[in-house]
Amino acid sequence: MSNQTALLTPVETDLYRKNGYHIYKKQVFSADKLARLTGLFEEQLALKGKKLSDELDTPHFRDERLLEFLLADEVLDLVEPIIGPNIGLWSSHFICKDPLVGRATPWHEDSAYWKGRLTGFTRIVTVWLAIDRSNQENGCMRVIPGTHENGFSDYEDVDGSKNLFSTQIKNIDESSAVYFELERGECSLHDSRIIHGAKANLSPHRRCGYTMRYFSTEDKVIPEKNPNFKIWLARGRDLAGNPFVNV
Q: What is the DSSP string of 100-137?
A: TTBPBEEEE-HHHHSTTTBS-STTEEEEEEESS-B-TT
pTM attached to this predicted model: 0.94
Residue 137: the pLDDT is 96
Share of the chain above pLDDT 70, in %: 98
46-53 own/partner pairs: CB under 8 Å, 24+ apart: 52/103, 53/96, 53/97, 53/98, 53/102, 53/208
Which domain does 88 fall in, by range? Answer: 27-235
SS3 state of residue 75: helix
pLDDT digits (tens, 9 = 90+) for 206-222: 999 999 999 999 999 99
Alpha-helix runs per DSSP H in the chain? 10-19, 31-46, 59-62, 67-70, 73-83, 110-113
Q: Is 116:222 a contact under the CB 8 Å cutoff?
A: yes
- 169 within some domain: yes
Closest CA to 193 of 244, 243, 143, 140: 143
Our count of domains for the chain comes to 1
- 6 within some domain: no
Inform me whether the pLDDT recorded for 131 exceeds 90: yes
- 138 within some domain: yes
pLDDT digits (tens, 9 = 90+) for 27-39: 999 999 999 999 9
Inform me whether the pLDDT recorded for 160 exceeds 80: no
CATH number at residue 88: 2.60.120.620
